[in-house]
Amino acid sequence: MTGVLPVTLLEATKVVQALLYGGKEYVCVMKLHGDAQEAQVRKTLEEFEDLIYQRPPLRASVKRQLRTRRIYYSDFLEMNGRNVLFSVGCEGGTYIRKLCFDVGEVLGCGAHMQELRRTRAGPFVEKDSVTLQEVAYSFTEYQETQDLKILKRFVQPMERALMLVPKIYVRDSAIAAVCHGASLTAPGVLSLEGGIKEGSLIAVFSLKFEAVALARAVASSEQIVDMTHGVVAKVERVLMPRGTYPKCWKSGEKPDEQES
Amino acid sequence: MPRSVAPWETPRELLVRAEDRTDPNFGHRPEERPAEEYLRFGLINLDKPAGPTSHEVAAWVKRILKVEQVGHGGTLEA
- pLDDT (tens, 9 = 90+) of chain A, 260 residues, equals 999 999 999 999 999 888 876 799 999 999 999 999 999 999 999 999 888 888 877 777 777 888 888 999 999 999 999 999 999 999 988 999 999 999 999 999 999 999 999 999 999 999 999 999 999 999 999 999 999 999 999 999 999 999 999 999 999 999 999 999 999 999 999 999 999 999 999 999 999 999 999 999 999 999 999 999 999 999 999 999 999 999 874 455 444 433 33
Is A72 near chain B, with CB under 8 Å?
Answer: yes
- CA distances, B72 to each of A64, A73, A236, B76 (Å): 23, 25, 19, 10
- Is-contact B52 B35, C-beta < 8 A? no
Q: How far is A100 from chain B (nearest CA, A)?
A: 14
Question: What average pLDDT score do residues B21-42 get?
Answer: 95
Chain A residue with the nearest C-alpha to that of B54: A5
> What is the per-residue pLDDT for A30?
98
Is 90 exceeded by the pLDDT of residue B77? no
Domain boundaries, chain B: 49-73
User: Which of B64, B65, B61 is CA-nearest to residue B38?
Assistant: B65
Output the pLDDT for position B78.
54
Q: A241 phi and psi, to 5 degrees? A: -65, 145
Chain A interface mutation, best of B48, B55, B64, B77, highest count of A Cβ atoms under 10 Å: B48
Q: How many CB pairs under 8 A join A and B?
A: 260
Instruction: Say if domain A165-238 classifies as CATH 3.40.50.300.
Output: no
From first CA to last CA, the distance across chain A in angstroms is 62
Q: What is the pLDDT of residue A254?
A: 42
* Interface test with chain A among B15, B29, B54, B60, by most A beta carbons within 10 Å: B15
Each domain of chain A, given as residue ranges in start order, spans 23-121, 128-157, 165-238
CB-nearest partner of B71 from A8, A47, A71: A8
Q: Per-residue pLDDT averaged across B1-12, rounded?
A: 85
Task: Give the mean pLDDT of B1-18.
Answer: 88
Question: What average pLDDT does the segment B2-30 reach?
Answer: 92
Contacts of A47 in chain B (CB under 8 A): 1
Is A192 in contact with B15 (CB distance < 8 Å)? Answer: yes
Using CA atoms, how far residue B43 sits from A20, B32, B36, in Å, is 15, 15, 13
CA-angle at A232, arms to A229 and A235, nearest 5°: 130
Give the residue-averaged pLDDT of B41-47. Answer: 97
pLDDT of residue B1: 56
Residue A51's pLDDT is 84
Compute the distance between CA of residue A117 and CA of residue A255 in angstroms, rounded to an integer. Answer: 53
The answer for A 80-139 residues in CB contact with B (under 8 A) is 89, 92, 118, 120-126, 128-132, 135-136, 139
Cα(A138)–Cα(A132) distance, rounded to whole angstroms?
10
Select A23-121's CATH number: 3.40.1190.20, 3.30.70.3190, 1.10.600.10, 3.30.230.70: 3.30.70.3190
A163 vs A38: CA distance, rounded Å = 38
